Structure formats: structure tokens, C-alpha cells
Homo-oligomer: A and B are copies of this chain.
Amino acid sequence: MYRWSLLANSYIYHNNIKKYSVGFSTDLLLTKKYLNLLLLQSFADESNMSNRSQHTIKDIAVALGLSASTVSRALNDHPHISQETKQRVREAVEKLDYRRNALAANLRTSKSNIIGLIVPRISMFFLSSVITAIQNKLHEFGYNLMVCQSNDSQVLEKELVNAMYASRVDGLIVSATLSTEDFSHFDIFSRRNIPLVFFDRIPRNYPAHKIQGDDYQGGYQTTLHLLEQGCRRIAFICGPLTSNLYQDRYAGYQNALKKYAVAVDEQIIFFHELSKGNALKDCDILFAQAPYPDAVFACNDTSAIAVVEHAKAKQIKVPEVLKVAGYSNDPRTQIIDPAITSVEQFPLEVGTQAAALVMDLIQQKTMPGRNFISLTTPVDLVKRTSSGA
């Protein structure tokens, strides 16, 4: 094998000399073709048997008597390369099982064809649906997605942002930690003008592109619905007000009450991380003594489900005595009995929009100066049995 390589090199060198000074005679060409065939064969043999060396563009060039640049261009379908050459390169690639080294290409072009995505948890229904949509959309553009979860930890989030930058992702999509208030670790992306898009949990005062559900409407419509159903004492289980999500939903809740001239009663409003355990504690408080609430509006479905289960355990009839509403339209809300009224957020649309926006930004379609896009996606209240619908 090694002999063949050597021969190849010297032959090709000879070739070039000839080429530049005298030109090919027909039988020289024939000889060349024959030799290349042999070469290809032996190269391929090697590639099948050993796993040591991966072939590079240069190997193809040598085997074909071309230069690396020509092979590169052929692979990228550059117009200046003849069809015949392209065909020969394709065949050699096939035979040698050549695989492009994206690392090298990315270094040279300083773009990675990868979009980064950071979410608090991958296993929440809303988020995993968004991810699906993002990935499918990106795939249309030939981009790959690198997903990381911050586990709702600020320090991990920061770490991940840096890792993403180190990998020179071409764009970053983020749903922030609930507690993130300092967004300066994203500065590197803004400064370098790398597309940065927040969705769902977005920063209030940080300049960036943002896509958010219409949480105000979600909170408003749901509360209004409960009011229309006759409820006047609507408990509210809310996430921490550090997050835009809960600020907006809370504002919606308040304004709906105001419309019906119902006073906001802080006694039946809870702010904390939204978990099953916390929701059950809230229920204990709410149903410890009269006056009992006639409805509970929880800001996620896990909490709403907990409320329904508490009610079942305590023989409180839903929806007759207590009406319940959740948020996000998790599949579980349709399965539980009674089915729970919830707010659909259209995760697939959100994901598609986020991905499309990043692609736009990369292709500079969208770039009106330093303006940042702020998109609000609609939500839809899905009325079910739990609210008496």
C-alpha cells in the first residue's frame, strides 16, 4: 500500500510538470486513468480494513491527481468545476468512504451550522413540543440543534451559554431560568451580533429578540371565564413574580377581577415554585376554614391537577362546588376526570417561529438597524368540565 502511495505522489508530481510545460498525450491520459483506478482500489482496500486513518480531502485529491482545492470545490458544487471532475470526485468519495470534517470546515468559515437551545427542563410537555418544532424547522435549512437544559439553575445556565459560544453556535434560542434576573452572560452573543432569541421565559429589560405567549390574555380570559361561570372567590396559584410569565398572568387575573368589581384578596393568592407539593399545601390552607374559594386558577397544569386530586380526596365536587383551571394544556388535563380547563399555548407554532426568526437573522433578512423583534403569540382558552363548561 505504502508503495502505491509513493508512486502516486511521484506520478502526479510528474503529471503536473508535464501538464504545465508540454500537455498530455492521449496515452499518458490513459495511463493516468489506469493508475488512478488502481490507486482508488488500493485506497479503498485500506479504508475497509483499517480504522486508523480517516481520509481527507487531500487523499481524494492525490488519488484523483487533483488538488485539494478542486476537490473541495467539487464537493461544494462550485460552478467553476467541470461536471466530469465533479463526477469523478463523487465516485472517489464513495469508494474511499470519505467523510467531511465539519470541525475543520467550520473553523475555516467560522460558522458551525449549529443552533444552540437552552431550556430549563426538556421533559415539560410545552418545552419538548417546542423543541420538536424548532428542530424540524432548522432541519429544513440544513442546521442542527444542540439542546441543553439548565435545570432551572442560573449557574448552569451561564456555564451552558459559555459552552455554546465556545462551540461557536450560529444562533442561540433560550427559555431562561425562572430566577434569572441578570442576563449579562448573554452579552457575548449580543456584542458579537450572533442571533439571540428568547422565548417563553424572556427577560423584561434585556435588549434581544423575544417571543412570548400572550400571558396577559391567558390570565385575563381564564379569570373572566371563571367569573362568568359565577365564581367570585377565585384563588390564584402563581409562580414567582421574577418571571415575566407570572407577572403577566397575574396582571390579567387582577384586571379581570376589576372588571367584575371583585376585590383582590391576597389571602387566596400564592406565589411560589409551581409543584404538586406546593399546590397541595395551598389547598390545605384554602380549605382550612371558611370562606372557601369557589374556584382555583393555577398557573400550570401540574398544580391544577393537584388541586383536582385534593378536591377528590376531600369530596369537594368539581365543578359544582369548586371550579378549576390550569395553564399550558398539558395532555394530562384532557385525561383526568373531570377534564381541566386550560390555556393552549401552541408550542409547535412558537417553536417554528423561533427557529424561523433565527434563520431570518442569520440570513440577514431581518435586521432593521438595532431594532429587536418582540413577538407575542396568541393563546387559546380551552374550556372543559372542571370549570363547568
A241-254: CB near B (< 8 Å → 1, else 0) gives 00000000000000
A121 contacts B by Cβ under 8 Å: yes
Across the interface, do A335 and B191 meet the contact criterion of CB distance under 8 Å? Answer: no
Name which of A64-72, A164-172, A218-226, A281-289 contacts chain B.
A164-172
Interchain CB contact (< 8 A) of A166 among B101, B145, B156, B192:
B101
By a CB distance below 8 angstroms, the chain B residues around A54 are: 192
A28 contacts B by Cβ under 8 Å: no
Find the residue from A112, A135, A144 having the highest chain B CB count within 10 A. Answer: A144
**With A104-B107, A123-B125, A144-B163 in contact, is A149–B132 under 8 Å at CB?**
yes
A7 contacts B by Cβ under 8 Å: no
- Specify how many copies of this chain sit in the oligomer: 2
Instruction: Using CB atoms, name the residue of chain B closest to A187.
Output: B97
A146 contacts B by Cβ under 8 Å: yes
A148 contacts B by Cβ under 8 Å: yes
Q: A236: shortest Cβ distance to chain B, in Å? A: 23
Across the interface, do B136 and A132 meet the contact criterion of CB distance under 8 Å? Answer: no
The residues of A with any CB-CB pair to B shorter than 8 Å are 51, 54, 97, 99-104, 106-107, 110, 112, 114, 121-123, 125, 128-129, 131-132, 135-136, 139, 144-149, 151, 156, 162-163, 165-168, 188, 191-193, 305, 331-332, 335-337
Query: 29 interchain pairs (CB within 8 A)?
Result: A51-B191, A51-B193, A54-B192, A99-B188, A100-B166, A102-B163, A102-B167, A102-B168, A103-B106, A103-B167, A107-B107, A114-B146, A114-B167, A122-B128, A122-B147, A123-B129, A123-B131, A131-B147, A132-B149, A135-B148, A135-B149, A136-B151, A144-B148, A145-B148, A147-B147, A305-B335, A335-B335, A336-B337, A337-B337
